[in-house]
Structure 1
Amino acid sequence: MKKHTTTLLSSLVLIAFTVTSCKENTSSVNEASPESEKPAEVVAKKITISKLENSPAYSDAVLKIESPSAENIKTGETDFNFKVENYELGAQTDSPNVQLLANSGKGQHIHFILNNEPYSAHYESAFAKALPEGTHHLVAFLSRSYHESVKNENSVVVKKLVVGDSPENETGVNVEEPTLIYSRPKGTYSGKDTENLLLDFFVLNTKLSESGNKVRATINGEQFEITEWAPQVIRGLPMGEVTIMLELIDSKGNVLDGPFNKVTRTVVLKE
């Protein structure tokens, strides 16, 4: 009887030890890798572009240049005077895109682009600018308050300007040929404006199509083909520097001749 009692006690001690050991091991595992200490999953954003909708067409809007009327102008400040018809400079564009995109509080304006460099915005039809000596190619067009260009044959001015007596920096541009003019994005974006960036450009002397000429956009290394002359919205961009390259290409993917038909810009996105 004593032998059986001893055996039973030994068995109970062994079971108790095993259960205690299991509990200790389980506790140790849980303490070593609590749920809160698991590394957070990082999901990379995907860069996308999509056609911008819901903009008023302004199909009858007109932009003309009244001065300077001559091609040759003197060095120093030059008075520019434009005539605007069926379009109101300084007004806020009546569109939900005012809330979607970076929008100018000063309203609708003129994008003034010299030699396909970053534009200057002008909210009145008359202003003065000092141009460097040489040969320049001006492209100016009407812009909505959120910087989308008005795209019709009468909303743009294309003019060659020769500044000074002996210009030396001839650009070699033939604006009678297919030409790409970069417009947006531009500058620095912050806060909500980083979510949707307007990609916009002007094309001269060509139509874009799936089987013909196109614009190839390379955004942080990601390539997109644009087969319609229409504004696009870029989404999924990371904070920091963003590089955008636009190229006017033929049906085989070759960049068309012309110094303006391949352009690279950098913009900055910050919290």
Structure 2
Amino acid sequence: MSLILLAVVLVSCKQQKKDSSVDSARDREMQGSMESEAPQITLEKLEGSPAYADAVLQLEEPKNTTIADGGEVNFNFTMNNYELGAQTSGPNAERLANSGKGQHIHFILNNQPYSAHYEPAFAKEIPNGVHHLVAFLSRSYHESVKNERSVVVKKMVVGPDAEDTLGLDMESPTLIYSRPKGEYSGADTENLMLDFFVLNTTLSENGNKVRATINGNEFTISEWAPHIVRGLPMGEVTIQLELIDGEGNLIPGPFNQVTRTVTLKE
């Protein structure tokens, strides 16, 4: 190889290394820019909802929650100082995913996803076994009404030789998941409400708390209140709620650690 050709090859190699270095630096800069522009998931307390502090929910039927056989069970609730089907007043109906059917009852069996009921009487399929029933009043945008009389909690024993596979202790601290749920699209993806019910305990800075892990981002909630989640990406979102003690340990109970997924669409 002539000296001239060798010199050309060396210069070309140096230029390629320089170009590669510039490209790598540019790639790192672009990656950093993309990461910095990614939305940050935040959690803040929701305020501005009417309190409904005197709202009452009562279960009238079935009178006896020990039932001979599994199958369709008729439920009938009565309520005071609360109107099913009405639109909840205030700004949150515009900010959050809101039901056009109005205020309703969230019916939850064994901490599974709730069914919403806009009439006080309805039938549900209840299988044989021992079940944990929670029903509470919900605003039109699915925020639970949180007072001692707005919720019904029952142990249901259904069928002959019903077996308690959950190991229920109806007096122990219990976490019940409510929202978010299902699919959200358009403007409803901007503000997702995180809401839950706590039974037989209170939350405080130095006592029991709820740990929320949203797409890997961990938050600690020390007040029983709904919260707004912002900055979520489109697609599948994973939410885990855990009822923990003052030292961060999971409190024993069949429902005190729950994971749900929701989907956000453009």
TM range (shorter): 0.7 to 0.9
Alpha-carbon deviation of 1:265?
Answer: 0.3
Query: What is aligned with 2:220?
Result: 225
Return the offset for 1:175: 2.0
1:144 maps onto 2:139 in alignment: yes
Offset of 1:39 from its aligned partner? 6.4
Is 1:54 paired with 2:35?
no
The corresponding residue for 2:260 is 265
Contact 1:247 1:261 in 2 (8 A): yes
Offset of residue 177 of structure 1: 0.9
Match of 1:116 in 2: 111
**1:170 paired residue among 165, 168, 171:** 165
Structure 1 position 185 matched with structure 2 position 180: yes
Q: 2:79 aligns with which of 84, 88, 92?
A: 84
Q: How many residues align?
A: 235
Matches within 5 A, 1:16-31: none
User: Hey, what's the Cα distance between the residues in 1 that align with 2:210 and 2:136?
Assistant: 19
RMSD between aligned alpha carbons?
1.5
**Matched residues, percent identical?**
71
Q: 1:168 Cα shift?
A: 3.1
TM-superposition CA deviations, 1:86-117 (whole Å, max 9, x none): 00000000011001000000000000000000
Show CA shifts across 1:132-180 (max 9, x none).
Answer: 1111110000000000000000000000111111223531121201110
Distance 1:233 1:157 in 2: 26
- Which letter does structure 1 place at the counterpart of 2:158? V
Matched residues in 1 for 2:168 and 2:160: separation?
A: 20
What amino acid maps onto 1:119 in structure 2? Y
Measure the CA separation in 2 of the matches of 1:245 and 1:175.
22
Q: Deviations over 1:186-206 (max 9, x none)?
A: 000011100000000000111
Unaligned runs of 5+ in 2: 1-28
C-alpha distance in 1, partners of 2:165/2:30? 58
- Determine the C-alpha separation between the residues in 1 that align with 2:30 and 2:130: 59
Q: Secondary structure at the match of 1:254?
A: coil
Match of 1:130 in 2: 125
Task: Give the one of 58, 62, 76 matched to 1:64.
Answer: 58
Alignment counterpart, residue 237 of structure 1, candidates 225, 232, 237: 232
Between structure 1 and structure 2, the one with the greater Rg is 1
Structure 1: give runs of 5+ residues left out of the alignment.
1-37
Per-residue deviation at 1:71?
Answer: 2.2
Q: Any idea what SS the aligned residue of 2:140 has?
A: coil
Task: Give secondary structure in 2 for the equivalent of 1:260.
Answer: coil
- Cα distance in structure 2, aligned partners of 1:113 and 1:39: 47
| Letter of the 2:203 counterpart | L
CA distance in 1, matches of 2:43, 2:161: 45
* Aligned residue in 1 for 2:89: 94
Whole-Å Cα distance in 2 between the matches of residues 195 and 143 of structure 1? 21
Please, what TM-score do these two structures have when normalized by structure 1? Answer: 0.84
The amino acid that maps onto 1:230 is: A
Distance in 2 of aligned mates of 1:207 and 1:77? 35
Q: What is the alpha-carbon distance in structure 2 between the residues aligned to residue 174 and residue 58 of structure 1?
A: 29
Contact 1:136 1:170 in 2 (8 A): no
